[in-house]
Structure 1
Amino acid sequence: MPDWSYQTIFRPLLFRLPAKLARDFTLQAMGSLSRIPGGSFIIRTMGHMEASPILESKLAGIPLRYPVGLSSGLDPNGTAHKALAQFGLGFIEIGPVTIEEHTSSSIVIQRDSPNEAIIYSDAGINEGLHQMVARLRAKQGHGLPLMLRIKSTPGCTPLQARKELLAMMEALSYYAASFYIETLDANWALADTIAHLQALQQEARMLPTVKPMLLYIPLDYPLEALEQLMELIKLEQAWSGAVIGDTIRTAEGDWTGRAAKPLTLDKVRCVRLYNRSASFSLIASGGIHQPLDALELMDEGADYVQINSGLVYSGPGLPKRINEAVIYEKIRGEEEPLPASFWLNWGWMCFLGIGMIVGGFLAWVIAATVVVLPYDISFLGMEPRILDQANPLVLQFMSHDRVTLAGTMISIGILYYQLARHGLSKGQHWTKIALFTSAAVGFTSFFLFLGHGYFDPLHALVSLLLLPMFILSMRGIKERPSWERPNLVNDRTWRLAQWGQLMMVTLGISLAIGGIVISTVGITQVFVPQDLTYLCMTPTMLNEINERLLPLIAHDRAGFGGALFSDAIAMLTIALWGINQGQRWLWWTFLLGGLPGFIAGLSVHLTIGYTDFIHLLPAYFALMLYVFGLVFLYPYLMKGQKNPRAGLLPNANYPKS
């Protein structure tokens, strides 16, 4: 459920359901998908979060791949943790856990959509220590560090709270990467609070297994009390860090949402003012609904962020977007490395693309004029004029297959050239995967030509010439982060682009299905009913004209289907992974890469009079997706965005890896 499908389809539908039902349904669906064979691969493919050494860090000695964590309130039972772990998360919070079970006869969740907020009837509901141990004993399905938030019973004395917390730490230490200690009580005297925290830290060191401890600071803990506490106790001398919570207790319930960011900023500033040690980790989790929110909290001293309501309102792509923003913030201001040598790798892919373009133009000219080549005539043992006398529609039908193949070849060539020139040359990981997958499919599809016993020497020669270029283009690629500023805000342009991305992804999937269907038909029954209606003949009648005619036509159809599938893979991977604000070359790639295929396919059908509506309906549908996709993506890709962080120094007050 990437952002392009969540924002456009799933969120409007889910928000029509009661909040709790929508949450449970979504988590159950995601969890079920992650558990089926290949489910995790599908999730990773849809999001394609690239791990980067730039993002790697250690929180109190715990290795983290990403600086973004998942708040416990979003999936309290861990139903979809395996799926969510694929979204670019570095750690997962679990809790709160209390010594005794805390339940409610009526669990209610409300949405405040205009304010992008969620209200839980009681965010402290949990199954208790015993059941939590039993649940954690089961296989988690992922390898992310678990940050267990343990909470003392509200209203208890500091001594009682300490006993509960120590008991929970001892029971849960095997499963916890670290503990979030939720024990601050605004009703305790300041001296009692300080004594309690110091005693807890000392006694925790005596446990059989010692894990890092971070003080959990509720979002609604009075700022004045927090300032007094920070003045009198140096957390950095005894604690591994602190966590700023994301909920506020109100008359309606526990509230969390976008408006929590100012409160979170205040507490981040307060804690960081008195705890500046680099070894003291500060985690912020309230009000993060777009990458800019995370960056602003990090600018004020947060090392990590956790997301809750932001995932509901912004979509599952939020962790990936934050990660990309953090990478950019860490490298901006540095000099961008020069592109790799043209002859090292990417130049060969440019040559391959140019070769496909030139070959496609030549094939188009031939298909629109003589149609068949000498080796085709030799294979048939029949001159074109004789075939034309037997049925003048046969050569026109063959022309229609070959022109569409030629247009597809040109489209592939343009896509390959653009991906190599603007992506592979800069070491972009996703362009390498896109080119490798598409080209591998394209070269493999050569064998489809042999399905009916016809060997195409020209196609074989072209494949032999282009294959070394493909191999050379895949060698020695040094992957690098992008120096292009990513999108930071959930504005109208971004939301419109989600529709554009949906159109292009759907187009890629549709073309892939079309390629598979055409190839399958080509190597099996050769024709669809509309083809035979146009030809006014049956396969048997065609076979009577020349028994080698069907293999020749089948070879054309299978080849076109394979080329279309290869083209679709390139288009689909660009739409899934490449779209980023201000990437003008991507919009031109979509435009120029799609035009030859549509022009060839539609013009040849009109030229030969093959205008059956049902036959052309998939082409009309694809054209509609293509046009709307270009329109919706234009502002996002071509106009870029105003920099909301203009004037800030690169890497200023930024967390270190």
Structure 2
Amino acid sequence: MYKLIIRPILFLFDPEKVHYFTFSLIRFLCKIPFVSGIIRSMYQINDDKLARTLFGITFKNPVGLAAGFDKNAVLYNELANFGFGFIEIGTVTPKGQVGNPTKRLFRLKDDKGIINRMGFNNDGVEAAIKNLKKNKGEIIIGGNLGKNTSTLPESYTNDYCEVFTELHPYVDYFVLNVSCPNVGSHAKLDDVAYLKELITEVQKLNNKQEKQKPILLKIAPDLNNQQLDEIVALVAETKIDGVIASNTSVNREGLKVSKERLQEIGNGGLSGQPVKDRSTKVIKYLSEKSNKSFPIIGVGGIHSAADALEKLNAGADLVQIYTGFIYEGPSLIKKINKAILNQ
């Protein structure tokens, strides 16, 4: 029903407006008595065989929702009804910011992809905390951390540390988002020496907490093998808890959409099916090169159960969906979990 009726209607309208409309609709429906239970009965699979334990956290299943969908932690309780094993909120920055000028979100229908240049639009860490205080405890929550666009390079680390400290009581794990192509100047975030400094400072804060929480690094799908070797060495040196592979891509090769349309769209990060193989290749390389010495969350182009299994077989321990959730609908989560059980 989603792909036959709902998606064609939603795709008639501006994707960013549809996103907010969908949020409002899900929230409204879940306030109606029994609707949440109906959704859970339709989409959730509760089977102990799906459980995965990584960096001290037990996930009820390995299928998560990637960051960028519930930026401000406003819908995670409702989204949990659809059967996710975990939900990553954010990217959260210290202060709220509007992000880049609209129009900034574009569908590539023939490619089953999306290009976005949202620019870390979010309401800031205080707003996220206010929403996270409503957590019903039914879902593992990750916090994706970023810097404000206006922050000067010498203060990048302060931004990450501020959000980390504020969010620490309210999320189960953290992600340092250093690979988003849509936040203006981020050249420093590509530098391995700086990444070591950033990770070290955040880890120092973590060690001061009564309970330490896992910290992961989110990387781009466009890194070459030498850069991936540097990531493997960085993980070994800093003992960071894991890697998310991967973020959106700036590569435009092999797309069905016309060059003219791409010029109209302009800059942005590409997600969805076009990045599937690139993401899987990165996962496989990291897994093999490191001799599977650290956990990997695989994300990028998962539009089917087969896509998810491909990521897991390449070395991912968990997977996340985003664009596939938009194109394929909520049944995708159940299909992936079923396929994992049937392996």
Instruction: Indicate the residue corresponding to 2:203 in structure 1.
Output: 201
Partner of residue 277 from structure 2, selected from 262, 271, 278: 262
Whichever structure has more strand as a proportion of its residues is: 2
- Is 1:294 aligned to residue 290 of structure 2? no
- Is 1:281 aligned to residue 295 of structure 2? yes
**What is the CA distance between 1:172 and its match in structure 2?**
0.7
Q: Distance in 2 between matches of 1:193 and 1:162?
A: 9
**What is the CA distance between 1:55 and its match in structure 2?**
0.5
**What is the CA distance between 1:229 and its match in structure 2?**
1.2
Instruction: Indicate the residue corresponding to 2:57 in structure 1.
Output: 62
Instruction: Indicate the residue corresponding to 1:212 in structure 2.
Output: 214
> Residue 297 of structure 2: SS of its match in structure 1?
strand
Q: Distance in 2 between matches of 1:119 and 1:324?
A: 30
Instruction: Indicate the residue corresponding to 2:234 in structure 1.
Output: 233
Instruction: Indicate the residue corresponding to 1:510 in structure 2.
Output: none
**What is the CA distance between 1:213 and its match in structure 2?**
0.7
- Is 1:327 aligned to residue 341 of structure 2? yes
Instruction: Indicate the residue corresponding to 2:243 in structure 1.
Output: 242
CA contact (8 A) 1:236 1:275 kept: no
CA contact (8 A) 2:147 2:156 kept: yes
Q: Does 1 or 2 have the higher relative contact order (CA < 8 Å, sep 6+)?
A: 2
Q: Distance in 1 between matches of 2:195 and 2:20?
A: 38
Distance 1:108 1:178, change over 3 A: same
Instruction: Indicate the residue corresponding to 2:171 in structure 1.
Output: 176
- Is 1:111 aligned to residue 126 of structure 2? no
**What is the CA distance between 1:162 and its match in structure 2?**
2.7
**What is the CA distance between 1:223 and its match in structure 2?**
2.5
Please tell me the residue identity of whatever aligns with 2:270. W
CA contact (8 A) 1:31 1:81 kept: no
Q: Distance in 2 between matches of 1:230 and 1:79?
A: 33
Instruction: Indicate the residue corresponding to 1:305 in structure 2.
Output: 319
Query: CA offsets, 1:268-309, max 9 Å, x none?
Result: 12321343356x321011110111111111111001111001
- Is 1:127 aligned to residue 116 of structure 2? no
CA contact (8 A) 1:234 1:274 kept: no
How many residues get paired?
A: 320
* Bigger Rg, which one: 1
- Scaled by the length of structure 1, the TM-score of the pair is 0.46
Whichever structure has more helix as a proportion of its residues is: 1
Please tell me the residue identity of whatever aligns with 1:172. L
In structure 2, list runs of 5 or more residues that go unmatched. Answer: 180-185, 252-265
**What is the CA distance between 1:193 and its match in structure 2?**
3.4
In structure 1, list runs of 5 or more residues that go unmatched. Answer: 330-657
Query: CA offsets, 1:310-349, max 9 Å, x none?
Result: 01111110010000111112xxxxxxxxxxxxxxxxxxxx
**What is the CA distance between 1:6 and its match in structure 2?**
0.6
Distance 1:126 1:107, change over 3 A: farther
Please tell me the residue identity of whatever aligns with 2:311. L
**What is the CA distance between 1:68 and its match in structure 2?**
0.3
Distance 1:125 1:223, change over 3 A: farther
> Residue 89 of structure 1: SS of its match in structure 2?
coil
Distance 1:15 1:192, change over 3 A: closer
> Residue 256 of structure 1: SS of its match in structure 2?
strand
Please tell me the residue identity of whatever aligns with 1:38. F
**What is the CA distance between 1:168 and its match in structure 2?**
1.6
**What is the CA distance between 1:84 and its match in structure 2?**
2.2
Q: Distance in 2 between matches of 1:74 and 1:197?
A: 25
Q: Distance in 2 between matches of 1:79 and 1:134?
A: 9
CA-atom RMSD, angstroms?
2.5
Please tell me the residue identity of whatever aligns with 1:288. I
Instruction: Indicate the residue corresponding to 1:53 in structure 2.
Output: 48
Q: Distance in 2 between matches of 1:71 and 1:236?
A: 27
Q: Distance in 1 between matches of 2:198 and 2:14?
A: 42
Please tell me the residue identity of whatever aligns with 1:256. S
Instruction: Indicate the residue corresponding to 1:136 in structure 2.
Output: 132
> Residue 305 of structure 1: SS of its match in structure 2?
strand
Q: Distance in 2 between matches of 1:237 and 1:191?
A: 11
CA contact (8 A) 1:71 1:285 kept: yes
Please tell me the residue identity of whatever aligns with 1:118. I
Q: Distance in 2 between matches of 1:46 and 1:193?
A: 43
Partner of residue 71 from structure 2, selected from 72, 76, 87: 76
CA contact (8 A) 1:194 1:229 kept: no
CA contact (8 A) 1:216 1:242 kept: yes
- Is 1:316 aligned to residue 330 of structure 2? yes
CA contact (8 A) 1:122 1:254 kept: no
Instruction: Indicate the residue corresponding to 1:43 in structure 2.
Output: 39
Distance 1:44 1:191, change over 3 A: closer
> Residue 217 of structure 2: SS of its match in structure 1?
strand
CA contact (8 A) 1:121 1:254 kept: yes
CA contact (8 A) 1:91 1:144 kept: yes
Please tell me the residue identity of whatever aligns with 2:278. L
Identity over aligned pairs, percent: 28
Instruction: Indicate the residue corresponding to 1:272 in structure 2.
Output: 287
Distance 1:226 1:41, change over 3 A: same
Query: CA offsets, 1:66-88, max 9 Å, x none?
Result: 10001122333445433321222
Q: Distance in 2 between matches of 1:192 and 1:23?
A: 35
Distance 1:189 1:66, change over 3 A: closer
Partner of residue 10 from structure 2, selected from 14, 22, 25: 14
> Residue 143 of structure 2: SS of its match in structure 1?
strand
